[in-house]
Amino acid sequence: MSASAPSCSADARETIRPPMQFVILFLNLYMWLIIGRALVSWVSQDLRNPIIRFLHVVTEPVLKPLRQILSPGGVGGIDISPILAIVVIQVIKYFLIRLAWL
């Protein structure tokens, strides 16, 4: 008896791949939005700018809870919630890929 992961039939894998590809594409896009927000935060935080406002509105629902979990001032005054969010997204993507392409 081996300890390998259970495998799906070829038909089941082909059925699950398109939705997984969509979710992975969404996660990739969201990761880039978080990166964009982090980069913009070094330059300008003018919420009157529609692009900055969009980045803030879209990413804040994920970053705010992570910020609350971490220490209030970040690590040494640096907000590392975008880094943590990207790590979590990468872990989720890894498991989705393993699930869809086993």
Q: What is the pLDDT of residues 49-101, one digit of tens each?
A: 899 999 999 999 999 999 888 876 666 778 889 999 999 999 999 998 888 77
Residue with the larger pLDDT of the pair 47 and 7: 47
Secondary structure of residue 78 in the 3-state scheme: strand
Q: Is residue 7 pLDDT above 70, yes or no?
A: no
Q: Is residue 1 pLDDT above 50, yes or no?
A: no
- Domains of the chain, by residue range, sit at 12-100
User: Please, which residues bridge with residue 78 across strands?
Assistant: 75
Q: State the Cα torsion 76-77-82-84 to the nearest 10°.
A: 30
Question: What is this structure's pTM?
Answer: 0.78
DSSP code of residue 4: P
Structure tokens at 34: 């978080």
